[in-house]
Structure 1
Amino acid sequence: MKVAMLANHYPHAAHRDAFVERVHRVAEEFLRGPGCLSAECWLTGDAVVSFVRWESEEAFVTAFTALRTEELDIDHDERESRPREIVKLVEPPAGA
């Protein structure tokens, strides 16, 4: 069963370009991991949107464990104007 994550990040305007770079760095790290099918960065209005897909729940969990060991900058901080909105998506079984 495939798993995906859709995250809307809301950086302050002064940090938008740097935040896009930040999301791209995290996406590159996700793509290096086993089971990552895609990792993308999109823009909409005031949000920087990340969308990542994995082949399984196990790959999803492994990806976040690996990010912590890489010490990447992934935590919410004062560069963001409001909390992130994160949605985890799960592929429905065939025929559902």
Structure 2
Amino acid sequence: MKVGMVASHYPHAAHREEFIARVHQVAEVFRRTPGCLSADYWLSADGEAVISTVQWESEEASAASLAAVMAAPEVDLAFDERESRPREIVRLVSA
């Protein structure tokens, strides 16, 4: 069963470009992991949110992929003062 994740991030305007670069790096790591079907990122039309989407072939692939991202030294996953509010993460399963 395919699974997915949609994450909404809210960087302060002064950190938006840096945050987009950070999300780009995370997407690159996701794409290299076995079972990852897609990893992309978007800017909301109002420019307030950076939205990342990932889709995997299974829950096992998702777990392994997330572990790989957490262990990747080249990515910055920190939630800190660069973001204006907490991230919103929605997990998805195929219907």
Normalising by structure 2, what TM-score? 0.93
1:84 aligns with 2:62: no
Task: String of CA shifts for 1:18-43, please: whole Å, max 9, x gaps.
Answer: 10111010000000000000011101
**Residues of 2 paired with 1:20 and 1:12: CA distance?**
12
Runs of 4+ that moved beyond 4 A: none
How much is the aligned-residue C-alpha RMSD, in angstroms? 0.8
In structure 1, the gaps of 5 or more residues are: none
**Runs of at least 5 residues in structure 2 that lack an aligned partner in the other structure:** none
Counterpart position of 1:57: 59
Instruction: State the identity %.
Output: 60
Separation of aligned partners in 2, 1:55 and 1:87:
17
TM-score by length of 1: 0.92
Equivalent in the alignment of 1:39 = 39
